[in-house]
């Protein structure tokens, strides 16, 4: 990696109160995102328990850290991406000493060589070793997830560093984020969750804490599933579209104040969780009980508002389309469980849900959706549902699966063929021309067959109304090509543990938004 003329390199420290919240995965992916942006990036491995290189599919270097210097302890992952101190560390003290020396004695080297440095800190609030170099970092990112223990541990870390970090802001990164407003634990209130579990003398203020990303859980990023079953991920995409349809099937209440809008938003969440069989009065009573006992800070509805909510609930609970969408969601969820159990040889007994029964449920729903108004937003979401359904039928073919699997690079290790994740990640970062040409050739080969599958569904079940149209009213063929291209891209890259380059997955979108916010602050 060559030197740069600019002599500034911002340092981002990535921390967590405990292990298992996705800190290292976050640090690695932030480094990958900045590398794709053309920034010369250093990932400083300060966590003795982390497997940064293993996460990137590399074996650890054999050289030791004895008399190590930054210059002789860098590992080149890609032209613009290096890991500093990737070797095993004996202790957190050793790791801290290496990073402290780097920050204080080799800062000019760091500044001249990189545009951005990211420290993957240890996840242990019981140790003080990291305190030696933390003041030398420019920014601090705290990673957590929606678990009480993660919030308490993160709060404990904040309390310990408040003297060192002083009045500088701390940025909060929510991993595997799922809102749970109906539960006592509020995933948005890290400070409150910590303060409720400690003595008054140990409580802290959250005025410096700024949430910067809410990244939902995404099984396609699970590194324990290097070769995720293709059909499982496609069914998960189908579920996301169905849930968006479900949300749109719930009518809005017009003319609400801000406080009343919060009540409506919570009610919509409750409706997502409902079985569709509840009595409106019981449902509303349960909701009011929740408001009275929770820390959501939403006012109890007035009698007039209660009357409006009751009417709205009755119409929402009894809506046939809403009930049907909910029924299909439940069927697809059960089918995913069935597919996961089939893929797991150690799985216990499970109720097998056939693909045929799920297809029948989806087909009936699509036929009903085809009668929606042409101005309905749900009609667009219905078109997306049709596309995802066609994808599942298309990729159920073993021939198609073999073509896609043959594109994914592999290598031999101990006489066994395994997925070559490191080569695939390098191709993504480098935007390798030959790789892209091969990818486009595969898309070009498969798309006509996929298009025929879509045409078959449209003509067999009279679903022409659900096709995407351009401004002139013709079928928007370019839109389908883009959707298919994105679907193939996500299929071949699932299981890499990489979000860089993914455009349509909710987790990838949120991660990249968080990265862009950080970049605007850092550079």
CB-count exposure of residue 353 (10 Å: 0-12, 13-18, 19+): middle
Q: Do residues 368 and 321 touch, judged by C-beta distance below 8 A?
A: yes
Q: Distance (Å, rounded) from C-alpha 520 to C-alpha 50?
A: 28
Q: 162-166 — which CB contacts under 8 Å span 24+ positions? A: 162/204, 164/131, 164/134, 164/135, 165/134, 165/135, 165/140, 165/208
Q: How do residues 264-290 score in pLDDT, each as one tens digit?
A: 666 666 666 665 566 667 767 776 676
**Which pLDDT belongs to residue 224?**
59
Summary mean pLDDT of the chain: 85
Q: Distance (Å, rounded) from C-alpha 213 to C-alpha 216?
A: 10
**Which pLDDT belongs to residue 126?**
66
Q: Once rounded to an integer, what is the mean pLDDT over residues 204-231?
A: 80
DSSP per residue, 473-495: SSB-HHHHHHHHHHHHHHHHHTT
Q: Distance (Å, rounded) from C-alpha 75 to C-alpha 43?
A: 10
**Which pLDDT belongs to residue 241?**
92
Query: Residue for token digits 């990729």?
Result: 395
Instruction: Report the range of poorest mean pLDDT among 60-69, 89-98, 424-433, 437-446.
Output: 60-69
Q: How do residues 360-395 score in pLDDT, each as one tens digit?
A: 999 999 999 998 877 666 888 999 999 999 999 999
Closest alpha carbon to 44 in 8, 89, 7: 89
Is the pLDDT assigned to residue 10 strictly greater than 60? Answer: yes
Q: Distance (Å, rounded) from C-alpha 158 to C-alpha 205?
A: 9
Q: Do residues 14 and 118 touch, judged by C-beta distance below 8 A?
A: yes
Q: Once rounded to an integer, what is the mean pLDDT over residues 143-153?
A: 94
Q: Distance (Å, rounded) from C-alpha 306 to C-alpha 458?
A: 44
Is the pLDDT assigned to residue 6 strictly greater than 60? Answer: no
Bridge-based pairing of strands 416-419 and 410-413 is antiparallel
**Which pLDDT belongs to residue 222?**
66
Q: How do residues 236-257 score in pLDDT, each as one tens digit?
A: 889 989 988 988 777 666 655 5
Largest interatomic CA distance in the chain? 75
DSSP per residue, 181-220: TTSS--TT-HHHHHHTTS-GGG----TTEEEEEE----GG
- Work out the angle at residue 121's Cα, subtended by the Cα atoms of residues 45 and 12, and round it to the nearest 5 degrees: 90
**Which pLDDT belongs to residue 458?**
98
What 3-state DSSP class applies to 118? strand
Percent of the chain with pLDDT over 70: 79
411 band by pLDDT with thresholds 50, 70 and 90? very high
Instruction: Report the range of poorest mean pLDDT among 223-237, 298-312, 406-420, 472-486.
Output: 298-312
- Work out the angle at residue 468's Cα, subtended by the Cα atoms of residues 462 and 473, and round it to the nearest 5 degrees: 95
Distance from the first to the final alpha carbon of the chain: 20
Instruction: Report the range of poorest mean pLDDT among 61-70, 309-318, 513-522.
Output: 309-318
Is the pLDDT assigned to residue 23 strictly greater than 60? Answer: yes
pTM value is: 0.84
**Which pLDDT belongs to residue 287?**
67
When comparing pLDDT for 35 and 247, which is higher?
Answer: 35
29 band by pLDDT with thresholds 50, 70 and 90? very high
The per-residue b/e assignment along 439-466, b for 16 or more CB within 10 angstroms, e otherwise, is beebbeebbeebbebbeebbeeeebebb
**Which pLDDT belongs to residue 369?**
94
Specify the CATH number for 11-217; select among 3.40.50.300, 1.10.287.130, 1.10.1740.10, 3.40.50.2300: 3.40.50.300
Q: How do residues 58-102 score in pLDDT, each as one tens digit?
A: 988 877 776 667 888 899 999 899 999 988 888 888 889 999 999
DSSP per residue, 282-309: HHHHHHHHHHHHSSS--PPPPHHHHHHH
Is the pLDDT assigned to residue 220 strictly greater than 60? Answer: yes
Enumerate the domain spans of the chain. 11-217, 224-249+328-496, 250-318
């Amino acid at each position: 990696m060559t030197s740069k003329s600019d002599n500034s390199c911002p340092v981002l420290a990535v921390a967590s109160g405990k292990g298992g919240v996705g800190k290292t995965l976050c640090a690695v992916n932030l480094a990958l995102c900045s590398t794709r942006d053309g920034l010369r990036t250093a990932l400083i491995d300060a966590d003795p328990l982390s497997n940064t290189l293993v996460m990137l599919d590399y074996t650890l270097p054999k050289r030791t850290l004895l008399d190590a210097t930054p210059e002789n302890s860098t590992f080149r992952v890609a032209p613009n991406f290096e890991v500093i101190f990737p070797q095993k560390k004996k202790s957190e003290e050793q790791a801290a000493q290496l990073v402290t020396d780097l920050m204080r004695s080799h800062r000019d080297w760091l500044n001249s060589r990189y545009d951005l440095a990211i420290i993957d800190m240890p996840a242990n609030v019981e140790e003080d070793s990291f305190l030696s170099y933390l003041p030398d970092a420019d920014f601090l990112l705290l990673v957590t997830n929606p678990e009480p223990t993660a919030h308490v541990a993160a709060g404990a870390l904040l309390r310990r560093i408040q003297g060192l970090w002083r009045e500088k802001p701390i940025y909060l990164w929510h991993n595997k984020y799922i809102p749970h407003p109906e539960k006592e634990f509020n995933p948005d209130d890290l400070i409150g969750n910590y303060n409720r579990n400690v003595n008054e003398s140990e409580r802290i203020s959250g005025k410096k804490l700024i949430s910067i990303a809410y990244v939902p859980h995404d099984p396609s990023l699970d590194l324990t599933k290097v070769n995720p079953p293709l059909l499982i991920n496609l069914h998960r995409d189908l579920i996301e579209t169905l849930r968006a349809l479900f949300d749109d099937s719930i009518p809005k209440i017009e003319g609400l104040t801000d406080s009343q809008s919060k009540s409506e938003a919570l009610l919509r969440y409750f409706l997502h969780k409902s079985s569709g069989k509840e009595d409106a009065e019981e449902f509303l009573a349960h909701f009011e009980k929740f408001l009275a006992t929770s820390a959501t800070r939403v006012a109890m509805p007035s009698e007039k508002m209660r009357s409006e909510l009751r009417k709205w609930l009755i119409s929402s609970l009894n809506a046939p389309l809403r009930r049907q969408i909910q029924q299909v969601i439940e069927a697809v969820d059960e089918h995913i469980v069935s597919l996961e159990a089939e893929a797991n040889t150690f799985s216990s007994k499970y109720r097998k849900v056939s693909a045929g029964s799920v297809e029948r449920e989806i087909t009936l729903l699509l036929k009903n959706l085809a009668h929606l108004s042409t101005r309905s937003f749900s009609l667009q979401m219905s078109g997306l549902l049709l596309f995802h359904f066609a994808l599942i039928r298309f990729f159920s073919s073993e021939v198609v699966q073999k073509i896609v699997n043959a594109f994914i690079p592999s290598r031999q290790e101990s006489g066994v063929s395994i997925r070559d994740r490191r080569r695939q990640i390098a191709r993504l970062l480098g935007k390798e021309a030959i790789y892209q040409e091969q990818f486009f050739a595969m898309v070009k080969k498969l798309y006509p067959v996929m298009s025929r599958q879509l045409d078959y569904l449209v003509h067999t079940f009279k679903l022409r109304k659900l096709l995407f149209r351009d401004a002139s009213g013709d079928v928007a063929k370019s839109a389908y090509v883009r959707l298919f291209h994105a679907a193939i891209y996500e299929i071949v890259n699932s299981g890499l543990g990489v979000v860089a380059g993914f455009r349509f997955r909710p987790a990838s979108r949120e991660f990249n938004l968080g990265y862009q916010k950080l970049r605007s602050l850092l550079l």
